[in-house]
Structure 1
Amino acid sequence: MPGTIVQTEEQASYPHPKHDGFTLRDVVTAALNPALSVHRGQIAPGGQIFPHTHDGQTETFYILSGEAVCTMGAEKTVVGAGSCCVAPSGVTHGLKNNGSKPVELLALFTPPLK
C-alpha cells in the first residue's frame, strides 16, 4: 500500500449520533491503517461527549484547543490544549464543554473504531 496524505479540512464533518454538539471527521480508518483510527472532533460550547465506554478498544484523545471537563472513571478533571487522556477498554470517559469556545480534539482508537 502506498503512503497517504489526508487533508482534514477537505473532509466532510458529521454530527455524532449519540452525543450533543459533537461533530467529527474520520481522518484515518482501518482501510488506511489497520492498527488504529484517527478522528478529528469539535465539541460546541455547551455540548458534550456523554460518559460512555468502549469494549475492546482504547480511546486516546488529545485536546488541540478549548477547555472541557473530562470524566475518566469516577474522576472529573478540567483539561485544555495539550492534555492527552487515555481511556482503556471498559473505562467510562466523556468530555463536557462548559466554555464559550469550541473544543477541538483528536480521538485515536486502538484497534480502529471504523
Structure 2
Amino acid sequence: MQGTTVKAAEQAEYTHPKHKDYHLRDLVTAAVNPALSVHLGRLEPGGEIFVHTHDSQTETFHILSGQAVCTMGEEKIEYGSGTCGTAPPGIPHGLKNEGQEPVVLMAMFTPPLK
C-alpha cells in the first residue's frame, strides 16, 4: 500500500453545474480513499451554493478565507475564515458570498461524493 500526494493547483478546475459562480477542484475521490472525498471550492463574490441536501452523504465544509452567509437547516449564520460546518444527510444547507472577495473552502463528503 502506498500513500498519495495531491497538489491542489495541479488539479483541473471546473464550474459546478447547479450553483452560481462556484468553482471546484477534486483533491481526493473514492478512487484514492473509499471513505471520503475532498474538494477545494471557490465561491466568487455574488456567488451562491444554493440550498440543497444530500441523500446519503454528510458534507463537512471548512472556510479557508473570505466570508459567506450559511443556511443550515432553518438558520442563517455568518461563516468566516476558520469556520467549519457539518450537514448530515437530509439537512438543507447552502452558502452565499455577499462580500467583495472570493470565499475559499474545503468540502469533504463521507461517504465520497465522487
Report TM bin, short chain.
Answer: over 0.9
Secondary structure at the aligned position of 2:9 is classed as helix
Deviations 1:39-61 (A, max 9, x none): 00000000000000000110000
What's 2:75 paired with? 75
SS in structure 2 at match of 1:82? coil
Q: CA RMSD in A?
A: 0.4
Give, in angstroms, the shift of residue 12 of structure 1.
Answer: 1.3
Give 1:99's aligned residue.
99
Q: Which runs of 4+ in 1 moved over 6 A?
A: none
Q: Which ranges in structure 2 are unaligned for 5 or more consecutive residues?
A: none
Sequence identity of aligned pairs in percent?
A: 66
Measured after TM superposition, the shift of residue 26 of structure 1 is 0.4
Whichever residue aligns with residue 26 of structure 1, its letter is D
Runs of 5+ in structure 1 lacking a partner?
A: none
Secondary structure at 2:107 match in 1? strand
How many residues are paired up?
Answer: 114
| Counterpart-to-counterpart distance in 1, 2:106 and 2:67 | 14
DSSP-derived class of the 1:71 partner: strand
Is the aligned partner of 1:41 residue 2:46?
A: no
Distance 2:12 2:90 in 1: 30
